[in-house]
């Protein structure tokens, strides 16, 4: 590793250092506040270092990693989301009786795993990043041992994630067997002249899609989602819904852009079916739920379906649309789970629909933020969710994916129903006998409430004035930085 490699990998090294430092601090003295500050500082430091890298050329750390504008954008998104989640975790874990310190080590490591995913260009780094993320999540999901559901959720995630990893590995092995290389550009070069995928490669890619699909929780690999969302602590649920999926999606985009997977009809067909099934299954199953965390789980399944529509567009506009939608989705999901986190007490998470009855009259500001988040999830104008959905529609129409676009519109209407139902519950009059919730210390409350307020403002800002974000995304993702293309002459020759 040369000095320049150090420079480019510094955000990840800072994260690693932060995790190690946190562990050492835990060994010396257990103090929730100190640990929390160390975690936040390492996330912020890592994020600030990205500005150093911003204007630079794409850099390849052979053979595992590549750092380009796309990677910087996704790392920044991941880091900010982790920071917001750890801000909200502080108040949440302060009320819990369990040891809180290990949580922050695991959060830092999981973030490191997600960041590794988005910069990897080799199967080895892909798998290692995925495993760092998954192994941290196993422990995070069942972190609150006193809870009844935590073990169930943890075991479910452990077994299914292990099986999906096995599928992914087998798929990689098959691809390696037929191409003889594990780097993305090597695979791209070996299939550049092929019009159709050889059977071995197709099986390999299919098995990899199973592994990736599990992490993204798209139908038919979605069965774990509601149970795990319900059983995990609310901040961890937010983490699974955002950082874990975002990292995987970043990787999927990089792999597919590099190997030009959209040329192959079979792969496009697979993703089309998955996208439509995810949209429908997510929205229809959410209709009957009375548990807020499960509603959000099914809603996230359908949102991944929407994202796949833009993914299938497969061009630069599609990548921009995905990224924009991902930013909007991250803000909204973290905000929604942030409200759940804030309303939770030491007994359990506020997850039943009953807990939200009359919220507007009891805690108007919290209810207002939650309403904004739900409206954004539903894609109502003036919120970031609307602009994101519009962007996806534009990408879909641009490449004439009429079927997918029609399904997207239809599903947005279905989805509206359960979001509005949730909002309606908040507007109902509270039951008379209900005692007010006991408040936390103001300093702690300020961290959560402030974070939520920032998220809500950001949501409105992007909804009203999306140009800033669009310019940022366009500036960082350009086709020149995205794909390193040794196969271009070959492709020309094939045509």
Partner 1 sequence: MELTFYVASAIAILATIMVITNYNMIHALLYLVVSFLAVAVVFFTLGAPFMAALEVIIYAGAIVVLIIFVIMMLNLTNEDVQQEKTWLRPKTWIGPALLSLVLLAELAYLVIAEDMPTINNQPVDAREVGLALYGPYLLGVQLCGMLLMAGIVGAYHLGRQKKKVVHRFLERSEI
**Considering only residues 34, 37, 59, 131, which one is a binding residue for partner 1 as defined by CB under 8 A?**
131
CB of 132 to partner 1, least distance (A): 5
Residue 293 binding partner 1, by CB under 8 A: no
Write down the least CB distance from residue 385 to partner 1, Å: 33
Q: Which stretch binds partner 1 (CB under 8 A): 29-37, 141-149, 161-169, 349-357?
A: 141-149
Interface characters, 23-42, with partner 1 (x: CB under 8 A): x-------------------
Q: Is 354 in the site for partner 1 (CB under 8 A)?
A: no
Q: Which residues touch 294 (CB under 8 Å, ≥6 apart)?
A: 226, 229, 230, 286, 351
290 lines the binding site for partner 1 (CB under 8 A): no
**Segment interacting with partner 1, rule: CB under 8 A, options 104-112, 295-303, 447-455, 485-493:** 104-112
In angstroms, what CA-CA distances link 30 with 23, 24, 364? 10, 10, 36
60 has which bridge partners? 66
Q: Which is nearer to partner 1, 82 or 333 (CB)?
A: 82
If one asks whether residue 145 binds partner 1 (CB under 8 A), the answer comes out as yes
Contact call for residue 116 and partner 1 (CB under 8 A) = yes
What is the nearest approach in angstroms of partner 1 to the Cβ of residue 97? 11
Closest distance between partner 1 and the C-beta of residue 65, in Å?
7
Residue with tokens 């359960």: 418
**Which residue shows structure tokens 């917001």?**
84
Cβ contact 407:276 at 8 Å: yes
**DSSP states of 226-286 as a string?**
HHHHHHS-HHHHHHIIIIIHHHHHHHHHHHHHHHTGGG-HHHHHHHHHHHHHHHHHHHHHH
Does 176 sit near partner 1 (CB under 8 A)?
A: no
Rounded Cα distance, 310 and 253, in Å: 11
Is there binding between residue 425 and partner 1 (CB under 8 A)?
Answer: no
Please tell me whether the peptide bond between 231 and the residue prior to it is cis, using omega within 30 degrees of 0: no
Contact 388, 261 (CB under 8 A): no
Is 333 near partner 1 (CB under 8 A)? no
When binding is defined by CB under 8 A, the residue of 152, 227, 260, 316 that contacts partner 1 is 152
Q: How far apart are CA 346 and CA 222, in angstroms?
A: 29
| Site for partner 1 contains 166 (CB under 8 A) | no
**Per CB under 8 A, does 172 bind partner 1?**
no
Q: Which stretch binds partner 1 (CB under 8 A): 97-105, 199-207, 264-272, 365-373?
A: 97-105
352-363 as b/e, with b when 16 or more CB fall inside 10 Å?
A: eeebbbbbbebb
Is position 21 an interface residue for partner 1 (rule: CB under 8 A)?
Answer: no
Q: Does residue 209 contact residue 273 with C-beta atoms inside 8 Å?
A: no
Residue in 124, 162, 166, 177 binding partner 1, rule: CB under 8 A: 124
The DSSP symbol for 430 reads P
Interacting span for partner 1 (CB under 8 A) from 134-142, 195-203, 259-267, 384-392: 134-142
Q: Give yes or no for residue 61 binding partner 1 (CB under 8 A).
A: yes
In angstroms, the CA 224 to CA 310 distance is 25
Residue with Cβ nearer partner 1 (106 or 192): 106
Q: Which residues pair with 291 in a beta bridge?
A: 352
- Of positions 25, 43, 53, 64, contacts partner 1 by CB under 8 A: 64
Q: Which tokens sit at 494?
A: 């094939």
Contact with partner 1 (CB under 8 A) among 11, 14, 18, 19: 19
Quick check: 357 and 428 in contact, CB under 8 A?
yes
> Burial, 197: exposed, middle or buried (Cβ in 10 Å; 0-12, 13-18, 19+)?
buried
CB of 86 to partner 1, least distance (A): 16
Residue 139 within binding range of partner 1, rule CB under 8 A: yes
From the list 47, 26, 50, 51, the residue with the least C-alpha distance to 36 is: 26
Rg, C-alpha atoms of the chain: 22
Does residue 197 belong to the site contacting partner 1 (CB under 8 A)?
no
Q: What tokens appear for 212 in the block?
A: 């990736």
227 binds partner 1 (CB under 8 A): no
User: Does 102 interact with partner 1 (rule: CB under 8 A)?
Assistant: yes
Instruction: Collapse the DSSP code of 183 into the 3-class scheme (helix H, G, I; strand E, B; otherwise coil) and give the result.
Output: strand
- Judged by the rule CB under 8 A, the positions of this chain that interact with partner 1 are 1, 9, 16, 19-20, 23, 61-65, 99, 102, 105-106, 109-110, 112-113, 116, 124-125, 128-129, 131-132, 135-136, 138-140, 142-143, 145-148, 151-152, 154
């Amino acid at each position: 590793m040369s000095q320049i490699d150090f420079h480019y990998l510094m955000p990840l090294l800072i994260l690693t250092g932060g995790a190690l430092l946190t562990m050492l601090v835990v060994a010396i003295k257990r103090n929730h506040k100190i640990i929390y500050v160390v975690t936040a500082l390492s996330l912020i430091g890592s994020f600030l270092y990205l500005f150093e890298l911003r204007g630079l050329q794409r850099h390849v750390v052979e053979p595992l990693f590549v750092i380009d504008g796309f990677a910087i954008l996704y790392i920044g998104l991941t880091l900010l989301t982790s920071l917001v989640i750890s801000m909200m975790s502080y108040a949440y874990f302060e009320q819990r009786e369990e040891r809180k310190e290990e949580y922050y080590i695991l959060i830092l490591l999981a973030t490191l795993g997600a960041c590794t995913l988005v910069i990897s260009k080799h199967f080895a780094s892909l798998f290692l990043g995925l495993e760092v993320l998954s192994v941290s999540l196993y422990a995070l999901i069942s972190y609150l041992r006193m809870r009844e559901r935590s073990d169930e959720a943890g075991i479910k995630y452990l077994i299914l994630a292990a099986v999906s990893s096995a599928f992914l590995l087998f798929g990689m092995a098959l691809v390696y067997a037929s191409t003889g290389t594990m780097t993305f550009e090597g695979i791209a070069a070996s299939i550049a002249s092929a019009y159709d995928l050889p059977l071995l490669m197709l099986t390999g890619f299919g098995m990899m899609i199973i592994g990736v699909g599990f992490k993204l929780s798209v139908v038919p690999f979605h069965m774990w989602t509601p149970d795990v969302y319900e059983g995990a602590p609310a901040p961890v649920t937010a983490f699974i819904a955002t950082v874990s999926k975002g990292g995987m999606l970043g990787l999927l985009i990089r792999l597919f852009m590099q190997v030009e997977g959209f040329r192959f009809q079979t792969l496009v067909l697979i993703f089309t079916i998955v996208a439509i099934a995810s949209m429908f299954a997510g929205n229809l199953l959410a209709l009957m739920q009375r548990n807020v965390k499960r509603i959000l789980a099914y809603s996230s399944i359908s949102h991944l379906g929407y994202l796949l529509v833009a993914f299938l567009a497969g061009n630069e506009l599609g990548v921009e649309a995905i990224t924009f939608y991902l930013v909007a989705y991250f803000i909204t999901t973290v905000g929604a789970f942030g409200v759940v986190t804030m309303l939770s007490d030491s007994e359990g998470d506020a997850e039943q629909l009953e807990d939200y009855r009359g919220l507007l009259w009891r805690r108007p500001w919290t209810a207002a933020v939650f309403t904004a988040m739900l409206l954004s999830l539903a894609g109502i104008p003036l919120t970031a969710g609307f602009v994101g959905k519009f962007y996806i529609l534009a990408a879909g129409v641009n490449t004439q994916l009429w079927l997918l676009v029609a399904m997207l519109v239809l599903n947005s209407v279905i989805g509206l129903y359960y979001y509005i139902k949730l909002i309606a519950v908040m507007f109902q009059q509270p039951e008379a006998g209900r005692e007010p919730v006991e408040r936390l210390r103001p300093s702690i409350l300020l961290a959560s409430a402030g974070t939520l307020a920032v998220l809500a403002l950001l949501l409105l800002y992007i909804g009203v004035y999306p140009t800033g974000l669009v310019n940022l995304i366009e500036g960082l993702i350009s086709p020149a930085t995205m794909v390193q293309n040794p196969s271009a002459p070959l492709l020309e020759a094939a045509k």
